[in-house]
């Protein structure tokens, strides 16, 4: 069975602080990994994805994530957060069978 | 605009009632996923369809059912509604050709059960 675990349920940061959200997954085969962002009152949308190649992937709005296969991790980072980054962040994986599994999400609150 | 259309956007009903939520995937996408998001909770996977056939089932209650029609739109039926069924219900579709498994979500249907 596949699973995704996000370590932090709620993170509170001040503007300009650095961000790292943890994500670990469990699956024995090949996976595609994703981070989705859900702004207040909106639907989830893709932030970035990893499917092959360079394990350091860059997404929109200055976000990046690093896939570390040996640690089954795909942590999300941003060097300097802004108030507009306040949102819910979901880590997800997709297997070759087409099944998508989401983590429980991390609520990020950025104080101005 | 993700290209995934959900109706209605808002729905208020009473306990014990039955409602139907509708979803049209992006043009060309054969897969449809349904998720439930309750207040302050994550995305709970309900069910997935691919080209009219059920592909995967999550924690979907027996009071809930879904189907995907030949024109690829999908409906989620919720019956004998309870207060706890109040939530945001998202539909998502996945590209059939190309893509790497990312999901495109609709705007959601907000269900309030009074």
User: What is the reported pLDDT for A98?
Assistant: 67
User: What is the reported pLDDT for A96?
Assistant: 66
CA distance A99 to A79: 32
User: What is the reported pLDDT for B1?
Assistant: 84
Q: Which of these, A47, A63, A95, lies nearest to B101 by C-alpha position?
A: A95
User: What is the reported pLDDT for A90?
Assistant: 96
Residue B101 and residue A103: Cβ atoms within 8 Å? no
pLDDT digits (tens, 9 = 90+) for B10-33: 999 999 999 999 999 999 999 999
Residue B94 and residue A98: Cβ atoms within 8 Å? yes
Which pLDDT band, with edges at 50, 70 and 90, does A15 fall under?
A: very high
Contacts (Cβ under 8 Å, ≥6 apart) of A88: A37, A38, A44, A105, A106, A107, A108
Residues of B in contact with A90 (CB under 8 A): 42-43
Q: Which of these, A95, A96, A78, lies nearest to A87 by C-alpha position?
A: A78
pLDDT digits (tens, 9 = 90+) for B34-84: 999 998 678 898 999 999 999 989 889 999 999 999 999 999 999 999 999
């Amino acid at each position: 069975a596949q699973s995704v675990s996000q370590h932090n349920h709620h993170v509170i940061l001040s503007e300009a602080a650095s961000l790292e959200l943890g994500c670990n997954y469990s699956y024995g085969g090949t996976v595609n990994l994703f981070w989705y962002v859900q702004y207040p009152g909106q639907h989830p949308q893709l932030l970035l994805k990893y499917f092959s190649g360079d394990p350091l992937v860059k997404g929109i709005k200055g976000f990046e994530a690093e896939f570390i296969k040996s640690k089954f991790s795909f942590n999300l980072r941003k060097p300097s957060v802004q108030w507009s980054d306040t949102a819910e962040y979901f880590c997800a994986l997709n297997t070759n069978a087409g099944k998508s599994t989401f983590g429980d999400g991390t609520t990020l609150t950025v104080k101005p | 605009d993700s290209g995934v259309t959900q109706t209605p956007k808002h729905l208020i009903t009473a306990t014990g009632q039955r409602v139907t939520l509708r979803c049209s995937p992006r043009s060309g996408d054969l897969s449809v996923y349904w998720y439930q998001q309750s207040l302050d909770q994550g995305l709970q996977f309900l069910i997935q369809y691919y080209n009219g056939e059920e592909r995967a089932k999550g924690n979907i209650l027996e009071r809930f059912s879904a189907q995907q029609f030949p024109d690829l739109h999908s409906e989620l039926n919720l019956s004998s509604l309870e207060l706890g069924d109040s939530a945001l219900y998202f539909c998502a579709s996945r590209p059939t050709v190309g893509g790497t498994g990312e999901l495109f979500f609709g705007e959601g249907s907000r269900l309030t059960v009074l």
